[in-house]
Chain A
Amino acid sequence: MIRKILILVLCLLPGAAWALGPETALSADQVLRGRFHLERHLQGFRAPLQSEGVFLLAPGKGLIWQAEKPFAIRTVITPSGLAQDVGGSETMRLPSTRLPFLSKLYDMLGGALGGDWAALERDFVVEKSGDGAAWQVSLTPRQGSDPMAMPFSAIVARGGRFVESVTVAKAEGDHDDITFLDQKVSASPLAAEESAALGAPAR
C-alpha cells in the first residue's frame, strides 16, 4: 500500500515529464496544485466510496492530500514520514523510520524527477504510448500482486500537460478511479499552513 503512494505521487507529476523527460519536470521552487475526485470501488460496500478535495505537490518537500467531502481528512507525506488528521485532530503519524518504504519512496521519487526510470522499472513493466499532448502510461507489477508488498494488479495514468486520470486496479476487482482537475504550476511560495504541514517532522 505504500508503493501505491509512490505511484500516485509519480502520476501526479506534470504529464510533460512523462513524455518529454526531465527538462520540463517540476523544479525545486515550483508547486503543483489542483483538485481531485476519487471514486473507490470496493467489494462489501454498498456503493463506491467517493471523496473530493485539493492536493499540493512540492518537490523535495512532500505532498498534501486534503479530502473535503464527505469527511475532512488530510494526509501529509514528507520525507520524514506520513501524518493523517480528521477535522484537524491527528489520527495517525508514521515516521519513515517505522515505515522504511517511505524513505525509499523519496529516493525513487528523486530518481524519477531526475529522469531515472530504473527505480520504477525494477518493480514494474512500464508501457508508454501517445505523445506529449495525449499520452497513457501503464504500470504492471513484475512480480504480480501481493496484499502486503504490492497491492495492485495494474496502474494506468492518462494525461496531456498534466496527469488527468489514474486508475489503480487491485486484486479481486477493487479499484480506485482518480480524476484531477484545475491543475496549476506556480512558483509562489507555500502558504504558512502548508509550510507548517510539510515541515512538521513526523516522530
Chain B
Amino acid sequence: MRKALGLTWLLVVLTAGAYLAWQSAHGLPLRTDLMALLPQDERDPAAAAANDAVLQNLSKKILFLVGNPDRVQARAAAALLTRRLTESGLAEIATDGLGKDRLRQIGALYYPYRQGLLADADRERLLAGKEQELADRALSQVYGFMGIADARLLSRDPFLLLQSFFTSLPLPDSKLTLDDGMLTTSDGAMTWIFVSGQLTGEPYALDLQKALQSRIDLPGLAAAVPGTRVLKLGAVFFAEAGARQAIGESSTIGTVSTIGSVLVVLLAFRALAPLWLSLLVIGTGVGTALAGCLWLFGEVHVGALLFGVSLIGVSVDYSLQYCTEIFGRPATPQDRLRRVFGGIGLGTTTTVIGYLTLFLAPFPGLHQIAAFSAIGLVASWLTVVLWLPFLDRSKPPRHGAALLAAAMVLFSAWHAKPWKKARQAFLAVLLAAAFAGLFRLHADDDVRRMQSLDPGLAAEQDAILRLTGSTAGTQFFLVDAPDDETALSQEEALVERLRPLVAAGALAGFQAPAQYVPSAARQRENRALVQSRLAPLVDAQWDRLGLSGERPPSAPEDGWRPLTLADATGANGPLGFIRSLILHPGLHVVSLDRVTRPDAVTAAAAGLSGVRFVDPAGQFSALLAKYRQRALVLLAISGLLMAPVLLWRYGMKRSLVVMRAPVLAVLLTPPLLALTGAAFNFFDAMGLVLVLSIGMDYAVFCAETTDDRRPVTMLAVTLAAATALLSFGLLALSGAHAVSSFGSTMLTGILLAFLFAPWGSRPAEGSISPEKNAIWSANGDHRDSLGN
C-alpha cells in the first residue's frame, strides 16, 4: 500500500517535471514587471502600458557631463566620448549635431503652417482684444535695439507671430546653454559638456553593461585628455553596480550560508544521506510548486518565485525531523517516520493554512506566493512521508549522546528549577526592550529607499543634477484619448491649468506635445483669430514699418492645412524628440519638471477625461504599503485559522501555551528591530509570515514529542533553526535594503521562535535534566497515527 502511494507520488513528480521541461523549452513565462503584482481591477492597461513605455524610455537614457578646466579640452573629450558611443552602436547620441542647422530646420518645419501657430501669450492678447500690442511689439523688434528685421519675413508675417511662437516653445528646465553646437555649463573651475543618448539595447542585460563599460572606457578617456572628469548617470550604470554588488554578495553571503548549512548537517550526522535527502525534499517541493503555479496562473512572477522558494525552504524542517530520528531508539525507517509523523503532519497543516490565507487578499502576487508555497510544502511533506523511509539506508550513529545532551540545554533552561530567575530576567529584559521599541516603530515604504544605490554613482547623479539644473523626476501626466486630435485638445486644456501652477512654483515646467503641435481645432481657431483681429491692422503696420513692395493679400493663403503630429515627428526630423512623449496615437505623455507640490499638480487634471497624474515611484511605494498592510492582516488571520487545528489537538489551555512561542516571536520582532532605528516595510511583514510558520513548526514539534524522544526533537529543532538562520538570517548583511530588511526580521524572529520553542512543551514529570533524562525510554509511541 505504502509502495503504491510512493509510486503514485513519483508519477506526479515526474509529470510535474515533464510539464516544467516542456514549459522551459518554450521559455518560462516569468514576469518581472512590478505592476503585474497589482490587483487586476486596479491595473489600468493604458496606465500600465504608459508606465512601461515611460520607464523603458527613462531606463535607456544615459547622460554624461564631461568636464575640463579648459573649454577646448572639454569639447575634445566630449567629442571623443560621443564618437566612441556612436561607433559602439550601443547608444544613439541625442546631443550630437545640435548646431545651427537644427534651429533652422525647426524654423523651416513650422514656416508653412505659421498661420495656425500662436504663442499662448499672443493668443490671449488677441482674445482680449489687445492686438495693438502685437503690432507694437513687431515695431519694437524692427526699430529696437535687437533689430530683428528681415523684409521678406515681415512681408509674410508683419506681426512676427511665428518668431514669438518659436521662442515660446517649452525647453526642459536646464542650466545648460548651447555653445557652438554643444550643450555646456560651467561651475567656475570647470567647463562641462553635456552628452546624452538612448541605449539601443536592454539596460539590465549584463553583456550590454560590460560592452558599454569597455567601449566608452572612461578611465582611458580621462588619460587621453588630461584633467578631464566624466560624470555619468543612467539606469544602466546603477544596474551594473547593482549586479556587481549582487554577484559579490551571492558569492560571499551565498557561499557562507551554503557552506554553513551543509557543514551543520554534515557535522551533526557525520553522514551524507541526510544532506541529499533534504535536497530531494526541497527539490521536489520547488519543482512541483513551480509546475503547479504555471498550470494555475499561466505565468509566475519573479517576486512570487523568490518568496515562494524561501517559504518552501521551511520544508527542510520536516526532513530534518525525520533524519534526526536516527539518533533515537534504533528502529526501521518506517518506525522512525511513525514517530515524527504527527509532528510534521501538524506542522505542515498549520503552515499550509497560514499560506492559504494569502489567497484572501486581492493581490495576484500574494495569490502566487500562496499557491506556490502551499503546493510546495505539501509536495515536500509527501516526499518525506512516502519516499524518505524507502531511500534511507542510514545506520544508527555512535556520536549521538553528546549532541543530544547539548540540544537539551535549551529545554532545561525553560523547565529546570535552577534557571527560573534567569528565565524571568531574560523575559523581563526582552519585554522591556520591545516596549521601548514600540515608541520607535514606524513604517516606510518609499521604493527609492528599498533599492541600494551605489554611493559613488549617487554622488555623480547629484553633481549632474546640480550642474545641469535638471530634475530626476519621473512624474508625468498621461493623456489617454481615442485619437491624437482629442489628446492634443485635452493637453491644451491641461496646459492652461498648469501655467499658473508654474508661476506659483508648484512645478518648474512641463512639456506637452500640444505645445509643439497644437490641435487642428486650435490651429483653425488661431488662424481665424489672426484673420479677424490682425488683418485690419496690416495696412497701418505696413506703413509704420516703412516696408516697400507688394502688400500681402488680405485673404488667407490657399492650400493651408494644419500641422499634424505626423508632419512634426518624422524620422530624423528636428522635432524628433517629441516622439518620446507620444506612446501610441491618442496616448500622450506630458512630462513634468521638478514637481514640488504633487497635490496641486494632480488636481490640475480634475475633470479632464483621460488625463491622469502618474508617479511611478509614488505608486509603487503605495503598492508596497498596501502589500505591507495586507500581509499583516493576513498574518493575523492565518494565526487565527491555525487555532482550530491546535484546539482539536491540544484543547484550549495547551493550545494557548503552544501558540505562545511563535506569536510572541512575531510580536516582539518588529519593536526589537525598531530599536535599531529601522523602519518597518513590506519585506519585514513577509519575514513575519515566515517567522509565524517556522515558529509554529518548532512549537508543534516540541509539543508533539514524548519525554523519551525529547532530546531527539530538540536536536532536530536546533538543526532546523541553525540552517534557517544561516540561509535567511545572513541576508541581514545584504546591501540591498529590501533583502536586509527581510533578513534581519528572519534573524530576530527565528532566533526568538527557537529560544521560545520548548516553552510550551509539556514538562516531564519529576526533575528535568539531560543527565537524568532517559534517552532510550521504554515508553511506546502512543501518538502514532500512521496505521500499518
| Chain A interfacial positions (CB closer than 8 Å to B) | 1, 4-5, 8, 40, 42-47, 49, 51, 65, 67, 70-71, 73, 75, 77, 82, 84-87, 89, 91-92, 94, 98-101, 103-104, 146-149, 174, 176
Q: Can you name 8 A-B residue pairings with CB atoms under 8 Å?
A: A5-B145, A44-B155, A46-B547, A71-B143, A84-B146, A94-B167, A148-B100, A174-B149
**Nearest Cβ on chain B to A34's Cβ, whole angstroms:** 14
- Say which residue of B140, B149, B178, B548 sits within 8 Å of A86 (CB atoms): B140
Confirm or deny: B329 has a beta carbon within 8 angstroms of a beta carbon on chain A.
no
- Say which residue of A87, A92, A149 sits within 8 Å of B141 (CB atoms): A92
Scoring B residues 533 to 548 as 1 if CB is less than 8 Å from chain A, else 0, what string do you get? Answer: 0000000000001111
Stretch at the interface among B25-33, B131-139, B604-612, B692-700: B131-139
Contacts of B104 in A (CB 8 A): 147-148
A148 to B163 CA separation, bound complex (whole angstroms): 12
**Nearest Cβ on chain A to B705's Cβ, whole angstroms:** 76
Given known contacts A1-B146, A51-B143, A103-B177, A44 and B136 CB-to-CB distance under 8 angstroms:
no
> Does A1 contact B148, Cβ atoms closer than 8 Å?
yes
> Does A44 contact B140, Cβ atoms closer than 8 Å?
no
Given known contacts A43-B151, A87-B136, A91-B137, A49 and B143 CB-to-CB distance under 8 angstroms:
yes
Confirm or deny: B496 has a beta carbon within 8 angstroms of a beta carbon on chain A.
no
A75 to B176 CA separation, bound complex (whole angstroms): 25
B185: nearest chain-A partner, CB-CB? A100
Contacts of A65 in B (CB 8 A): 144-145
B503: nearest chain-A partner, CB-CB? A203
**Nearest Cβ on chain B to A3's Cβ, whole angstroms:** 11
For the side of the interface on B, what is the size category?
20 to 34
Confirm or deny: B780 has a beta carbon within 8 angstroms of a beta carbon on chain A.
no
Confirm or deny: B171 has a beta carbon within 8 angstroms of a beta carbon on chain A.
yes
> Does A44 contact B147, Cβ atoms closer than 8 Å?
no
For the complex of A and B, 10 pairs with smallest distance between CB atoms: A44-B151, A100-B177, A91-B137, A75-B145, A86-B136, A46-B548, A65-B145, A73-B140, A148-B100, A86-B140
A149 to B99 CA separation, bound complex (whole angstroms): 9
Given known contacts A45-B546, A46-B547, A4 and B100 CB-to-CB distance under 8 angstroms:
no
Confirm or deny: B45 has a beta carbon within 8 angstroms of a beta carbon on chain A.
no
Contacts of B155 in A (CB 8 A): 44
> Does A75 contact B177, Cβ atoms closer than 8 Å?
no
Contacts of A70 in B (CB 8 A): 143
Confirm or deny: B210 has a beta carbon within 8 angstroms of a beta carbon on chain A.
no
Contacts of B146 in A (CB 8 A): 1, 4-5, 75, 82, 84
**Nearest Cβ on chain B to A47's Cβ, whole angstroms:** 6
> Does B144 contact A67, Cβ atoms closer than 8 Å?
yes
A176 to B142 CA separation, bound complex (whole angstroms): 12
A75 to B104 CA separation, bound complex (whole angstroms): 26
Given known contacts A43-B151, A45-B546, A51-B143, A149 and B137 CB-to-CB distance under 8 angstroms:
no
Max chain A Cβ within 10 angstroms of own Cβ: one of B148, B171, B545, B546: B546
- Say which residue of B136, B144, B151, B549 sits within 8 Å of A42 (CB atoms): B151
Confirm or deny: B103 has a beta carbon within 8 angstroms of a beta carbon on chain A.
yes
Which B93-149 residues sit within 8 Å CB-CB of chain A? 100, 103-104, 133, 136-137, 139-149
> Does A44 contact B178, Cβ atoms closer than 8 Å?
no
> Does B151 contact A98, Cβ atoms closer than 8 Å?
no
Given known contacts A42-B151, A51-B143, A86-B140, A104 and B179 CB-to-CB distance under 8 angstroms:
yes
| 10 other A-B residue contacts (CB within 8 Å) besides A44-B548, A73-B144 | A4-B146, A44-B154, A45-B151, A49-B149, A67-B144, A70-B143, A71-B139, A75-B146, A91-B136, A147-B104
> Does B133 contact A91, Cβ atoms closer than 8 Å?
yes
**Nearest Cβ on chain B to A4's Cβ, whole angstroms:** 7
A65 to B140 CA separation, bound complex (whole angstroms): 12
Contacts of B103 in A (CB 8 A): 148
Confirm or deny: B152 has a beta carbon within 8 angstroms of a beta carbon on chain A.
yes
A84 to B142 CA separation, bound complex (whole angstroms): 12
